[in-house]
């Protein structure tokens, strides 16, 4: 990579995979890191904030194996064992900030800043750094239940205001919402 | 004699509301002094292009407060895709943005291919580009027709839908469905380009520039159209970048930025096209950008038609790509591969990628996490419409209620994509 990201505050790890650079940052210093990336490296454009829930990651086999309800464990002896377990993740949730630098002569440069959080652990809000983060963070709160400290208006955005639970969590069942009149037959 | 300098059309400084950047709040002085009326615009309103609700505070004719409420069309696409195999999940993205379906399909397929490190043959690459540009024209035509309709130019709608129908006929020729073609597979195309497609497409390329002349003839010197679009819904370049705007909205604000040129994907580095940029940042300039983009897209389609390579239309990788139909009768291996891909799905290596393409509405991104299994662990779409709606409050800072529809329309949002 041409750019040197070692000076990013709170940097825990740099990963290069599939031609993309991921900077894992300590959540406590996320704001400093974001301001540094925006002002020193020119990442003026926040493309999106993507949360991911890793509950059950590498737990039993791989996601969505078909066969039984619980999935077929491909790591079991006799299962031909060609599927290795994915590498474990440090915490349950990750938040990826996809940043874009609108470079000279129309050349793009991208980087992914990433923080890891446990359930219930808040992340600092970056609305002050990139105003566009407003709705992205509200979406992450709505669908994953991740709180963003310092967000000016952290309310549900896609689901109803009185919705219970956070649907994109892995422990939220598909088809789990009650259907009216389904029992009165 | 010196002429008075022309009044600058774009504002200085920032107009992004604070502390909530996406909501315009009534100032206390306004609330005390004026007679504020709160109006609920939508969610069911013919000009909201779906189900968008705007809570608008009015002081007379003036918009002094505004908040967009979304989520009425939330369908849980991202959650559903987690329980489908990669192969089946390709069907879903097209339905997220139902007006630029090819792009959504493309960005998801590109993400799968990036994880698989799969190369597509040139014929597939060029055909993808051709269909995407047709789709851009289609999307802009729907925008132009409905945006003009909302401002009272009814005839524009019929003209635009005349050409739109020809594009849908081409999609029908390719796959049998007029929208949601599911023609892109990981590795290439679902089938070879059907006979007759090039001839029909060439006819369309001939017609389209004249059609654009006609549209411009209808509105470009129409005083009502100019009055209702010029100088309205201002958005400066700095504000547009801070609010994450992309596509025509960003280019109308004077930022020379197009992902097709900035990070060329498909074969965009081999075709010749211009990126139209305007500096006014108003509704009119967004209209101009889209009109010129339709001309440029027609040029790209024309070049793709002329230079379409021969050869295979899908990669030769039997672990991912369905074997040819005729082999199933004679080859046991082909039958097994077919069965495995259809029932269990192919496995995609562990990792996370973010792929972005320039859709008709701007940067359409797809963030995908795979755990090495046959189903995606997480799919997240960076929807340009979702981000465009964040700019409504800023664009509406000094608008009248009558301009509201023109301004929201100029951001070209598709609610299916906003709510996903």
Cβ proximity of B123 and B313 under 8 Å: yes
Smallest Cβ–Cβ distance between A96 and the set B70, B80, B367 belongs to B367
d(CA B398, CA B394): 9
Cβ proximity of B373 and B346 under 8 Å: no
Cβ contact, residue pair A64, B374, below 8 Å: yes
Strands B184-185 and B62-69: unpaired
Cβ contact, residue pair B382, A127, below 8 Å: no
d(CA B79, CA B308): 38
Residue A100 to residues B131, B242, B244, B399: CA-CA distances in angstroms? 27, 12, 10, 31
Q: Does B354 touch chain A (CB under 8 A)?
A: yes
In degrees, to the nearest 5, what angle opens at C-alpha A52 toward C-alphas A148 and A107? 90
Q: Is the pLDDT of residue B208 over 60?
A: yes
d(CA B385, CA B52): 12
Cβ contact, residue pair B85, A135, below 8 Å: no
**Residue at token pair 């195309």:** B189
- Whether a cis peptide bond, with omega within 30° of 0, leads into B19 is yes
Q: Is the pLDDT of residue A80 over 50?
A: no
Residues of A with Cβ-Cβ distance to B363 under 8 angstroms: 47, 100
Cβ proximity of B392 and B416 under 8 Å: no
Cβ proximity of B369 and B380 under 8 Å: no
Which whole number is the average pLDDT over B155-183?
A: 89
Cβ proximity of B162 and B137 under 8 Å: no
- Supply B340's token pair: 């495995």
Residues of A with Cβ-Cβ distance to B261 under 8 angstroms: 106
Question: What pLDDT digit, counting tens, does each position of B64-123 carry?
Answer: 889 989 888 888 899 889 888 888 899 999 888 888 899 999 999 999 999 988 889 999
- Supply B339's token pair: 């069965």
Question: What pLDDT digit, counting tens, does each position of B361-416 carry?
Answer: 999 999 999 888 888 999 999 999 999 999 988 888 888 888 888 888 888 888 88
Q: Is the pLDDT of residue A94 over 80?
A: yes
Q: Which of B311, B247, B248, B305 is nearest to B271 (CA)?
A: B305
Smallest Cβ–Cβ distance between A20 and the set B343, B354, B390 belongs to B354
The set of residues, in sequence order, having a beta carbon less than 8 Å from that of B35 and lying 6+ positions away, is B59, B60
Cβ contact, residue pair A65, B241, below 8 Å: no
Question: What pLDDT digit, counting tens, does each position of B313-339 carry?
Answer: 898 888 888 888 888 889 998 898 888
Which of B244, B269, B375, B390 would you mutate first to test chain A, the one with the most A CBs within 10 A? B244
Residues of B with Cβ-Cβ distance to A158 under 8 angstroms: 70-71, 74, 419-420
Which whole number is the average pLDDT over B225-238?
A: 86
Provide the greatest CA pair distance for chain B: 88
Provide the greatest CA pair distance for chain A: 66
Nearest CA in chain A to B14: A131
Residue A35, classed as helix, strand or coil, is: helix
Share of chain A above pLDDT 90, in %: 35
The set of residues, in sequence order, having a beta carbon less than 8 Å from that of B284 and lying 6+ positions away, is B226, B229, B230, B231, B232
Which whole number is the average pLDDT over A134-147?
A: 92
Residues of A with Cβ-Cβ distance to B115 under 8 angstroms: 18
Cβ contact, residue pair A134, B386, below 8 Å: no
Residue A103 to residues A107, A109, B4, B99, B357: CA-CA distances in angstroms? 5, 7, 36, 30, 17
Which of A59, A104, A106, A167 would you mutate first to test chain B, the one with the most B CBs within 10 A? A106
Q: Does A179 touch chain B (CB under 8 A)?
A: no
């Amino acid at each position: 990579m041409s750019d040197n990201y070692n000076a990013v505050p709170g940097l825990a790890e740099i990963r290069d995979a599939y031609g993309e650079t991921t900077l894992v940052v300590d959540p406590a210093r996320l704001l400093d890191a974001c301001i540094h990336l925006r002002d020193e490296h020119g990442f003026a454009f926040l493309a999106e904030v993507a949360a991911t829930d890793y509950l059950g990651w590498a737990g039993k086999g791989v996601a969505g194996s078909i066969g039984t309800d619980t999935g077929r464990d491909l790591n079991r002896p006799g299962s031909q064992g060609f599927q290795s377990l994915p590498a474990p993740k440090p915490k349950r949730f990750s938040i990826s900030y996809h940043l874009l630098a609108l470079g000279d002569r129309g050349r793009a440069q991208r980087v992914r800043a990433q923080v890891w959080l446990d359930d219930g652990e808040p992340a600092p809000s970056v609305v002050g750094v990139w105003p566009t983060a407003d709705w992205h963070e509200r979406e992450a709160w709505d669908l994953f239940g991740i709180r963003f400290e310092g967000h000016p208006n952290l309310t549900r955005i896609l689901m109803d205001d009185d919705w219970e639970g956070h649907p994109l969590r892995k422990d939220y069942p598909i088809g789990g919402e009650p259907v009216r009149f389904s029992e009165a037959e | 004699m010196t002429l008075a300098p022309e009044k600058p059309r774009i504002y200085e400084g920032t107009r992004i509301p604070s502390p909530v950047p996406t909501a315009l709040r009534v100032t206390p002085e306004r609330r005390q002094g004026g007679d504020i009326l709160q109006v609920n615009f939508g969610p069911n309103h013919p000009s909201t292009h779906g189900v968008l609700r705007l809570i608008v505070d009015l002081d007379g004719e003036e918009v002094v407060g505004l908040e967009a409420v979304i989520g009425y069309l939330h369908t849980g696409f991202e959650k559903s895709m987690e329980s489908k195999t990669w192969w089946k999940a390709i069907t879903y993205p097209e339905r997220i943005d139902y007006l630029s379906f090819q792009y959504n399909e493309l960005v998801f397929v590109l993400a799968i291919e990036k994880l698989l490190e799969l190369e597509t043959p040139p014929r597939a690459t060029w055909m993808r580009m051709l269909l995407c540009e047709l789709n851009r024209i289609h999307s802009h035509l729907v925008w132009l027709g409905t945006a003009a309709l909302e401002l009272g130019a009814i005839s524009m709608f019929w003209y635009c839908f005349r050409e739109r129908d020809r594009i849908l006929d081409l999609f029908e020729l390719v796959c049998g469905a007029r929208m949601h073609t599911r023609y892109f597979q990981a590795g290439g195309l679902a089938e070879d380009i059907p006979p007759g497609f090039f001839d029909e497409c060439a006819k369309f390329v001939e017609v389209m520039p004249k059609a654009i002349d006609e549209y411009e003839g209808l509105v470009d010197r129409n005083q009502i159209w100019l009055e209702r679009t010029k100088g309205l819904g201002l958005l400066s370049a700095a504000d547009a970048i801070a609010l994450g705007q992309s596509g025509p909205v960003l280019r109308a604000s004077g930022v020379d930025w197009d992902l097709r040129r900035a990070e060329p994907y498909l074969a965009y580095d081999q075709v010749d096209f211009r990126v139209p940029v305007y500096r006014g940042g108003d509704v009119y300039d967004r209209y101009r950008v889209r009109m010129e983009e339709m001309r440029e897209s027609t040029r790209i389609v024309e070049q793709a038609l002329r230079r379409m390579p021969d050869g295979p239309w899908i990669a030769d990788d039997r672990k991912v790509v369905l074997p040819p139909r005729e082999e199933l009768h004679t080859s046991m291996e082909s039958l097994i591969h077919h069965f495995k891909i259809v029932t269990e799905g192919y496995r995609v290596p562990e990792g996370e990628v973010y792929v972005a393409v320039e859709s008709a509405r701007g940067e359409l991104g797809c963030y995908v996490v795979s755990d090495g299994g046959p189903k995606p662990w997480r799919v997240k779409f960076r929807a340009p419409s979702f981000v465009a709606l964040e700019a409504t409050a800023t664009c509406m800072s000094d608008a009248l209620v009558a301009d509201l529809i023109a301004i929201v329309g100029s951001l070209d949002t598709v609610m299916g994509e906003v709510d996903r």
